[in-house]
Amino acid sequence: MDDRVEQEKVQRDSKLSAVVVALCKGMVDRENDSKLWQLLLNMQLAVSEYVEVLGLVLILDEAEGYAFLRACEQVDEENKTPRLIARRQLSFHVSLLLALLRERMAESDASGGEARVMVSRDEIVEMIRVFLPEGSNEVRLIDQVDGYINQIVKMGFARALKGAEKMFELHRIIKSFVDAQWLAEFDHRLSEYKQLLQPKAGEV
C-alpha cells in the first residue's frame, strides 16, 4: 500500500515538474500541446502554489487557451526575491507594432469576426508606415518590419502560417500584455508616438 502511494506521489511530482518547467520556458498553448494543456488544467492549483514560492504567478486563460508565468509585484524593497522570469525589454518600434496588432484584434472581435485573427506582412508594413516620416526608404522599411515581426513571433505573440507566404496569425496572449486600460488610451498614445517619429524642425 505504501509503495503504491509513494509511486503515485512520484508520478504526480513528475507531472508537476513537467508543467512548471514548460511554463518557465515560455507560454503553454492549448493548440500547440493539448496534452500538456490538459495536464496544466488538472493541476492548476498545485502549479499556482508551486510557482508562488518562486515569486511567480500563473496567468491562465482557459477560454483563449494559453497560460504563462509572470513575476509577482514586490513592494518590500529590502526583502526582494531574485527575479526568475526576466522582464522583456521591448524596443520602441516592437512596442508600437504590438499595440497596433492588439488594436487589430480588438477591431476583429468588435465586428464579430472569426476567432482567428490573420494579418499579412504587407498590412503590417502599412500599419507602421503611418508613423514614419515622409519619404522613408521603402526597402529599408520592409527589412526593418521583417525584423520587428520576427521578434513578435519569437515572443509568441504571432505565428507564421504554413503554406501562406508572409501571413501571420495573432495569438490572443497579446490581450494579457496590452490590457484594456492601455487600449483605452490607445489613440492618445499613438498620437504621441507619431510626434516622436516625425523629424524635428530644421532636420533633414
What is the per-residue pLDDT across 92-123, written as a single tens digit (0 to 9) for each? Answer: 778 788 888 988 888 888 887 677 899 999 89
Residues 24, 67 share a domain:
yes
Q: Is 46 exposed, middle or buried (0-12, 13-18, 19+ CB in 10 A)?
A: middle
Residues 106, 51 share a domain:
no
Q: Mean pLDDT in the chain?
A: 79
Please determine, for residue 21, whether its predicted confidence score (pLDDT) is greater than 80. Answer: yes
pLDDT of residue 119: 93
Residues 48, 115 share a domain:
no
Cβ 156 vs Cβ 26: under 8 Å:
yes
Please tell me the total count of domains within the chain: 2
User: Is residue 89 very low, low, confident or very high in pLDDT (cuts 50, 70, 90)?
Assistant: low
Please determine, for residue 133, whether its predicted confidence score (pLDDT) is greater than 50. Answer: yes
Residues 119, 180 share a domain:
yes
Please determine, for residue 70, whether its predicted confidence score (pLDDT) is greater than 80. Answer: yes
For residue 77, the 8-state DSSP code is S
Of 187, 181, 51, 63, nearest to 130 (Cα)? 187
Mean of pLDDT values over 22-33 = 86
User: Is residue 46 very low, low, confident or very high in pLDDT (cuts 50, 70, 90)?
Assistant: very high
Task: Taking the CA atoms of 178, 179, 183 and 185 in sequence, report the sign of the dihedral they define.
Answer: negative
In a domain, residue 85? The reply is no
DSSP letters of 85-152? SPPP---HHHHHHHHHHHHHHHHHHHTT--SSEEEEHHHHHHHHHTTS-TT--HHHHHHHHHHHHHHH
Residues 193, 96 share a domain:
yes
CATH of the domain at 11: 1.10.10
pLDDT of residue 201: 47
Give CA 190 to chain center in angstroms. Answer: 20
pLDDT of residue 203: 47
pLDDT of residue 84: 45
Domain interval for residue 33? 2-71
